[in-house]
Amino acid sequence: MTIFKQFTFDAAHFLPNVPQGHRCRQVHGHTYHLTIYVSGPVNTEDGWVIDFKELKAVVKPLVEQLDHVMLNEIQGLKNPTAENVARWFWQAIRPEIPGLSRIELKETPTSGVIYEGENK
């Protein structure tokens, strides 16, 4: 069984490694839509894979850390592409939520990334 929880945050960034003249090299912002997926068996005692409250307790402080900031100034996000931001979330969440199975991060309604860890 897989459950999911969604979060949103607004942040600015620029991509320092794209060619000169690329519009993403300039400071710009996004309203990010983050979806966290957790997979595992349904616990027969409580009836769920994980308590949404527990998942929120792990993810919300991370979202708040990135909300309304310059992502380039966050430790580990010097090149804050959607791919690297998704990986940043994965590395922070995975130790706390072992059933983490997927992260979806959208920068726009039509553009985003799906990350399922390095071993997939």
Task: Determine if residue 33 is labeled as part of a ligand binding site.
Answer: no
Q: Render 61-84 in DSSP notation, one character per residue.
A: HHHHHHTTSBGGGSTT-SS--HHH
User: Catalytic site residues?
Assistant: 24, 68, 107
Is 13 annotated in some ligand binding site?
A: yes
Q: Apex CA 103: angle with CA 101 and CA 107, to 5°?
A: 170
CA angle 20, 24, 94 (to 5 degrees): 125
Q: Which of 9, 17, 26 is nearest to 88 (CA)?
A: 9
List, as residue ranges, the binding site.
13, 28, 30
List, as residue ranges, the binding site for Zn(2+).
13, 28, 30
